[in-house]
Structure 1
Amino acid sequence: MEKKMNKFGLRKLLAVWVVAFACVCMWGCSDTEFRWNDVRSGAKVVGFVNDSLVMVGDYRCWTEITDGVGANYKDIDGCGQERLCVYNYRVQEDGPRWCDSISNRNSTGIFGMEVHSSRPSGQMTDSIIWGGYVNKSIRLWKIGELPHEISLNKKMDGCSVEFTVQSVKQWFDGTFIAKSDRSLSAGDDNCQYAVLDTTAKIITYKRLEKDLVWIKQCNDVRMWGKDVYCVILDAENANSVVLKNERDTIPMPRIFAIGGFWGDMLKLSGQLCSFKNDMAECADVIWYGNELKFYRNDGTVVEY
């Protein structure tokens, strides 16, 4: 009886080996290697904290190679681990003052750090950047914290055609004004701006009320305290202006063709200025906006 059982067990084991061998012949064995690139990519300025600190976002790319027998070779790549760092832009230091990254393998692209990312994003306050399609939700990343997403309820107040939000700045009573590049001057039944209330988790699309019609001309707009500040750009003649509450023209230390609000900072062409008590004090550091280099007297003072 014992011998019969051994023969049966041996036959069963041989059958398993045959099936396993057949599978190997048909599909082949594979070995997968995953590795992150040593160097991070796509670094760009996403905001300014104050008159010496800048926020820089980047990401890390990866490669996955599956080397299989029988032409089962695969080579794929992607990017992830979006990171937010804070650097000094007045003095070259050894590295960032602070950094934190998302641990995900695939980049969300929400904060505009991904290759060819088309998702809207920008600076919201002095220490927060935003991203996403704000008609449904907004994702916020604050210095010292990890990103979080807020789902939003949408309301339409006096208009029916919404727009894609491309700018979110501080507004009345702790809310935020959301607009696109051209929405303020939109006509007919098109919404011109939106009020974002992150506490109530509501975004309300609106037409400009009578006392706000004047901001149609603004390229950038935000609140400071109880006052509305507006940047009107004249790129052709470099005769741009900053208005306070429609009628008060704020004196600027230099003429500028392009610019706008970056958190609590004001960018006048290539110059970075702190803006307090209706006075703009500009640093001797120049940033042209298309690279991670800051200049002083035609020489590079900081490079990332």
Structure 2
Amino acid sequence: MMNRICGLFAGAMVAVLCDGMLAGCSDKEEFWWDDDRSNAKVVGFVDDSLVIVGDFRFWHETTERWNGEYLEGRGAGNPRLCLYNYRVQEDGPRWCDSLSEEKSSGWFGGRMTDSIVWGGVLGEYIKLWKIGDEPHEMKLSKSFEGCSQKVSVQRIHQWLDGKFIALGSYSMNSRTFDNALTSLDSGASYCQYAVLDTVARTITYKRLDEKLKWIGKCDDVRAWGNDVYCLEKNIEGMKLSLWMDNILSDSIYVENVAFWDLGTVRLSSLSFYGDLVYWGYLFSLKFDEKKFDFGLNVRPMSFPGFGNFVDDEKGFVSYD
């Protein structure tokens, strides 16, 4: 018992001395960044040759306390945005810019326009990073029209009247609460999409009205000018259709497209990337004819990870 009391007394005395005199009792702290960058992902495509890539670096922190306690911390930060040529092999990125912040902070939500990447938490704020410019954050005010449960936004595309349509992560015609337009038969409280107005700094969550109800069949949707374009896939028939204002403009069967593999297409999402379309393979649209165009026919091998690209002429580009 006496030894225990003496030990407690000695510990208390050390604490008093350290607090009072700060002699030889300071913590030892170290902080460093990894040399290499990690988790490179495709954020979007600028055109038929340039891809937008986001990555970050891990940081490490250790603290040796004066009392013998050892603490470790690790996180991701220093987010970087780069442009690479995915059609022709080059030595590295065409352009890069990075932020000094110690948290990655969700900068790479996706492509918003040809030159702007979005991130943040929509419904509260949005982060905008334009290629060649300083990134910035914009607070948003939210409202609801005919619903009360907001969409968890994963995609943003250009929309009517200079605004943007915000959609969830899944195909619009899937049966899930997690996305836009999926809540067609899940109750009126669930919003199906949102409209983002960057001028007014608002985001409005909505359900489809009679005019837009037709886009409930779409896997992805966006507007060019006053026209609404819709991508619809049929997995059973392995068919892809393009609709414009609810009029069928073009359709193709996977088996008729050179270089395409049924397994790759079957397991891939279908989405717009600006003027391009991704469905396991990257191709484009002929807007004057309102048809699919396979002049560009590239497979991003590890999408949405970044690294290797191969085209229908067996051209290979790698940045691994």
TM-score by length of 1: 0.82
Q: Which amino acid aligns with 1:157?
A: E
- C-alpha change, 1:21 and 1:54, in structure 2 (3 Å) is closer
Determine if the alignment matches structure 1 residue 144 to structure 2 residue 129.
no
Distance 1:100 1:166 in 2: 23
Residue 283 of structure 2 is aligned to residue 268 of structure 1: no
Q: Secondary structure at the match of 1:216?
A: helix
> Is the CA contact 2:242–2:291 (under 8 Å) kept in the aligned structure 1?
no
Q: How does 1:224-235 map to 2 (within 5 A)?
A: 224-235=224-235
- Is contact 1:294–1:303 with CA below 8 Å preserved after alignment? no
Pairwise CA distance, 1:161: 2.7
Change in CA separation of 1:219 and 1:168 when aligned onto 2, cut-off 3 Å? same
Q: Cα–Cα, structure 1 residues 191 and 67, in superposed 2: closer, same or farther, change >3 Å? A: closer
**Residue 209 of structure 1 aligns with which residue?**
209
1:127-174 superposed Cα distances (whole Å, 9 cap, x missing partner): 212122211221111111232111111122222332212221110111
Taking only the aligned residue pairs, the percentage that are identical comes to 43
Cα distance in 2 between the residues matched to 1:106 and 1:264: 32
Does the Cα contact within 8 Å between 2:57 and 2:79 map onto a contact in 1? Answer: yes
- Do residues 92 (structure 1) and 85 (structure 2) align? no
Identify the match of residue 32 of structure 2 among 15, 35, 40: 35
Deviates more, 1:240-249 or 1:67-76: 67-76
Provide the rounded CA distance (Å) in 2 between the counterparts of 1:88 and 1:98. 10
> Does structure 1 conserve the Cα–Cα contact (< 8 Å) formed by 2:281 and 2:300?
yes
Q: Could you say which residue in structure 2 is the equivalent of 1:6?
A: none
Instruction: Give 2:318's aligned residue.
Output: 302
Counterpart amino acid of residue 156 in structure 2 = V
Q: Could you tell me how far apart the structure 1 residues matched to 2:135 and 2:86 are?
A: 24
Secondary structure (helix, strand or coil) at the match of 1:61 reads strand
Q: CA deviation at 1:276?
A: 3.2
- Residue 9 of structure 1 corresponds to which residue in structure 2? none
8 Å CA contact 2:166, 2:196 repeated in 1: yes
Structure 2 Cα separation of the partners of residues 105 and 20 of structure 1: 31
Q: 1:286 aligns with which of 299, 303, 317?
A: 299
Structure 2 distance, partners of 1:250, 1:21, is 77
Query: For residues 32 and 195 of structure 1, do their structure 2 counterparts lie closer, same or farther at Cα, with a shift above 3 Å needed?
Result: same
Do the aligned residues in 2 keep the contact of 1:152 with 1:201 (CA within 8 Å)? yes
> For structure 1, which segment, 52-61 or 140-149, has the greater mean C-alpha deviation from structure 2 after superposition?
140-149
Question: Which of 112, 130, 133 is 1:124 aligned to?
Answer: 112
**Alpha-carbon distance in 2 for matches of 1:30, 1:224:** 59
The alpha-carbon deviation at position 302 of structure 1 amounts to 2.6
- For 2:219, the aligned partner's letter is N
Alpha carbons of 1:127 and 1:235: their partners in 2 closer, same or farther (altered >3 Å)? farther
Question: Pairwise CA RMSD of aligned residues?
Answer: 2.6
State the one-letter code of the partner of 1:301: V
SS at match of 2:239: coil
Per the TM alignment, residue 301 of structure 1 is displaced from its structure 2 partner at its CA by 2.2
Task: Find the aligned partners of 1:93 and 1:159 in 2 and give their Cα distance.
Answer: 49
Q: 1:21, 1:165 → 2: CA distance?
A: 50
1:176 maps to what in 2?
Answer: 164
Q: What is the distance in 1 between the residues matched to 2:167 and 2:297?
A: 32
Aligned-partner Cα distance in 2 for 1:161–1:80: 32
Q: Distance in 2 between matches of 1:99 and 1:175?
A: 28
Question: Is residue 118–residue 126 contact of structure 2 (8 Å, CA) maintained in 1?
Answer: yes
Q: Which residue of 1 aligns with 2:242?
A: 242
| 1:53-202 equivalences in 2 (<5 Å) | 53-67=50-64, 70-111=67-108, 121-180=109-168, 181=170, 182-186=179-183, 187=185, 188-189=187-188, 190-202=190-202
Q: Is the 8 A contact 1:50 1:274 kept in 2?
A: no
The answer to whether the Cα contact below 8 Å between 1:177 and 1:196 also exists between their aligned partners in 2 is yes
The alpha carbon displacement at 1:63 in A equals: 1.6
Counterpart code for 1:227:
D
TM-score, normalised on structure 2?
0.78
* Structure whose alpha-carbon radius of gyration is higher: 1
Structure 1 residues 222, 20: CA separation in 2 closer, same or farther (over 3 Å shift)?
closer
Deviations 1:170-214 (A, max 9, x none): 101110111223321424322222211110111112221211110
Q: Secondary structure at the match of 2:36?
A: coil
Shift of the 156–21 alpha-carbon distance from structure 1 to 2, 3 Å rule, reads closer
Question: Structure 2 CA distance, aligned partners of 1:247 and 1:279?
Answer: 12
